[in-house]
Amino acid sequence: MKHVDLKNKNVFLSGATGDIGSQIALKLAEEKCNLIINARDEKKLKTLSNKLSDENQVSIVPGDISDIKGLSKIITEVKKIANVDILVNSAGIFPNLELKNTSDEELQKTINVNLIAPFIFMREFSKEMIDNNWGRIINIGSSSSYSGFKNTSAYCATKHAILGLSRSIHDELKEYNVRTYCISPSSAQSKMGEKSVDQDFSTFLDPKDIADFISYAISFDSNLMIEEILLKRLYTK
C-alpha cells in the first residue's frame, strides 16, 4: 500500500485537548507534522503544546467553536500561521439527556460543535487544499452515526449528519485529490465515554488506537479510496 510522508504537513486540529484529540495530536507530532491546535481552554492548549513542541512546529489557536460568530476569528488566525493540508474535526459534545429535558440551547450548542463548525472549517480550509491539489479531511463520527441510542437524540442526530456531510464532501472534492473520511469509533475510554450507561467501560476503545488509525488513514495514498470507517474493538477471551 502506498503512503504519503506526513512530515511538515500543516494540520489544523479542533478539540485538541480532549481524550481522542490529544492522542491525535501526539501521533501526528510523531509523524513530524506542523500542528495548529484548537480548544476552548488556553491553559490546556499550552500544556499540550509543551508536550509536542520539542521537534515540531506547534501553534495554539484557542476559541470556543460552539460560538459560530467566533469561527471567522479562528479561521483568520489559522490562515495567518499556515495553509492547512490536513483538517481534523475532533471536537464534539455529548449531551446525555432525555428528549423532554433537552433545551433549545443544548440542542443548538450540540449542532454548532458537532456539525456547523466542521462544515465551516471544511468549506474554508478546503479552498487551499483544492489549489494545492492535495488535502485530507478527517471528521470524527461515532457508532451513533449508524445507530440510535436512548437519551442521546441530539448527539445521534448530529453524528448521522456528519456522516452524510462527509459522504457528500468526499464525492465533491475527490477529483482534487482531497480525501474526506468519516472515522466513527464505537465508545471510547474518554470523559465522553464515561457518560454511556449500562456498558462496560473497560471494553471501550483506547483513544491511542483511534489516533493510530486516523494517522494511517491520513497517510493512505493508494488508488483505493477510504470513504468511511466504523471502528470496533476486537473482543478476546
Q: What is the mean pLDDT of the chain?
A: 88
Q: Which position has the higher pLDDT, 1 or 67?
A: 67
Ordered by where they begin, the domains of the chain are: 10-231 (3.40.50.720)
Percent of the chain with pLDDT over 70: 84
Q: How confident is the model at residue 234 (pLDDT cuts 50, 70, 90)?
A: low
Instruction: Provide the whole-model pTM.
Output: 0.90
Residue 230's pLDDT is what? 72
Residue 1's pLDDT is what? 64
pLDDT in tens, 69-87: 999 999 999 999 999 999 9
Residue 188's pLDDT is what? 55
Residue 193's pLDDT is what? 45
Q: Is residue 86 a contact partner of residue 33, using CB atoms and an 8 Å limit? A: yes
Q: Is residue 19 a contact partner of residue 191, using CB atoms and an 8 Å limit? A: yes
Residue 233's pLDDT is what? 65
Quote the longest CA-to-CA distance of the chain: 51
Q: Is residue 49 a contact partner of residue 60, using CB atoms and an 8 Å limit? A: yes
Q: Which position has the higher pLDDT, 222 or 102?
A: 102
Residue 96's pLDDT is what? 85
pLDDT in tens, 173-209: 999 999 999 998 866 555 554 555 555 545 578 888 8
**Helix 104-111 to helix 153-173 angle, to the nearest 10 degrees?**
30
How far is Cα 196 from Cα 194, in angstroms, rounded to an integer? Answer: 5
Residue 224's pLDDT is what? 66
* Residue 219 scores a pLDDT above 80: yes
Residue 172's pLDDT is what? 96
